[in-house]
Amino acid sequence: MKILISDAFDPSLPSKLARFGEVFDDKERLPEADVVLIRSKTKVTREYLDNAPNVKLVIRGGVGLDNVDRETCRERGIEVHNTASASSVAVAELALALMLAIPNRVIEGHLSMKEGKWLKKELKRTELYQKTLGILGIGLIGTEVARRAGAFGMKVIAHDPYVKAHDFADMVPMDDLLGHSDFISIHTPLTEETRVMLNAAMIARMKDGVILVNTGRGKVVNEADLAAALESGKVRAYGTDVWTSDPPDPSCPLLKAPNVFMTPHIGASSKENLLRIGDVIEEILEKKTGD
Ligand code: NAD
């Protein structure tokens, strides 16, 4: 079996998979590959697959499959897997990190001190305790966020059309989530239903001064509408790991909007998660080969 590692994984992965066959990372050798391992950078489009006649299996290290043309894979009998179970804690911790850093003014405190300023009076903090967190999409990652937010004494509500009841959150209609949340954390996949779902009309239904955190997908928000809401103060802050493209185009309005706190799509990039992703890939290949 020939395995192409097309994106960045833990350096231990090639030796972990060596027992299944030849493992290489030379993308020029795509036409030889039986298995392709990707993260978010490689786009498995119809054209990509045209150049991969032997591929029977695509494994996405991570969760979102929006960079894989699953329809074409289905047509060509190519199996597609992700490693969904591996990444939940890593992404949930980043969502919580943003949720803690923003109202605690950690980033402004750090940056202003680097500039020689002492903003002790100016940097007023607010707490998570007794605030309402609205989770949009309560699957694997949303669940880990809900569990941890409860430990901070937050009231956790969630909206998810496919989940009726949850152990760590009260399930509510979308309008209630928008109207009652002090924080909204986005954990939906990118689908036709969720694409630019958070637009001006939805933002208008949110509480004034809401803090949004997005570790789901950048394309779930309408960037221009959100930038306008940050300018007006309707949305107090936006903490985001995800963008409409990686990296964001310089014209992305959120890069210039006030109170945007950013990370470069590192939700799944904890050391521990990269090791777990490797373990899940090994399990998938074990099942395939019976090895
Ligand atoms: P999951 O499938 O377990 O959960 C997604 C949840 O969203 C499901 O419960 C689903 O019912 C719900 N959902 C679908 N459509 C919805 C809608 N219209 N409104 C509200 N809820 C809706 O997936 P997960 O493992 O929790 O991952 C969620 C997303 O996080 C992924 O699809 C991916 O886009 C993103 N992600 C980001 C990173 C990162 O690096 N920042 C890493 C991993 C995953």
pLDDT number for residue 122: 98
**H/E segment holding residue 231:** helix 223-232
Residue 103's pLDDT band, with cuts at 50, 70 and 90, is very high
pLDDT surpasses 80 at 173: yes
Angle at 287 between CA 283 and CA 291, to 5 degrees: 90
Nearest CA, atom 36, ligand 1:
216
* AA letter at 10: D
Ligand 1 geometric centre to CA of 40 (Å): 15
How do the residues of the chain divide into helix, strand and coil, expressed in percent and rounded to 5? Answer: 40, 20, 45
pLDDT number for residue 213: 99
Strands 35-38 and 57-60: parallel
Average pLDDT of the chain, as a whole number: 97
Each residue's pLDDT tens digit, 43-102: 999 999 999 999 999 999 999 899 999 999 999 999 999 999 899 999 999 999 999 999
Tracing tokens 């919580």 back to the chain, one arrives at 96
Pair of tokens at residue 107: 């980033």
Q: Are residues 228 and 200 in contact, defined by beta-carbon separation less than 8 angstroms? A: yes
> Once rounded to an integer, what is the mean pLDDT over residues 150-174?
98
Q: What three-state secondary structure class fits 198?
A: strand
pLDDT number for residue 290: 82
> Once rounded to an integer, what is the mean pLDDT over residues 26-54?
97
pLDDT number for residue 253: 98
Count CA atoms within 13 Å of residue 232 on its CB side: 13
Give the E-state strand segments of the chain in sequence order: 2-5, 22-24, 35-38, 57-60, 79-82, 132-136, 155-159, 170-171, 183-186, 210-214, 235-240, 260-262
CA–CA separation, 69 and 153 (whole Å):
42
pLDDT surpasses 80 at 164: yes
Nearest CA, atom 22, ligand 1:
137
Ligand 1 binding pocket (C-beta < 6 A) is 62-64, 84, 87-88, 91, 136-142, 159-163, 187-191, 193-194, 215-217, 241-242, 265, 267-268
CA–CA separation, 153 and 227 (whole Å):
30
Instruction: Give the single-character DSSP code of 68.
Output: B
Nearest CA, atom 14, ligand 1:
188
pLDDT number for residue 85: 87
Between residues 289 and 261, the one the model is more confident about: 261
Residue 20's pLDDT band, with cuts at 50, 70 and 90, is very high
Angle at 103 between CA 99 and CA 104, to 5 degrees: 100
Q: What three-state secondary structure class fits 221?
A: strand
Q: What three-state secondary structure class fits 149?
A: helix
Each residue's pLDDT tens digit, 200-247: 999 999 999 999 999 999 999 999 999 999 999 999 999 999 999 999
CA–CA separation, 57 and 128 (whole Å):
44
Pair of tokens at residue 106: 């950690």
End-to-end CA distance of the chain: 12
Pair of tokens at residue 27: 């993308």
Pair of tokens at residue 276: 């777990």
CA–CA separation, 28 and 145 (whole Å):
40
Q: Are residues 190 and 163 in contact, defined by beta-carbon separation less than 8 angstroms? A: no
Ligand 1 geometric centre to CA of 64 (Å): 8
Q: Residues 99, 250, 67, 187: what is their CA dihedral angle, to the nearest 10 degrees?
A: 20
Each residue's pLDDT tens digit, 113-146: 999 999 999 999 999 999 999 999 999 999 999 9
pLDDT surpasses 80 at 291: no
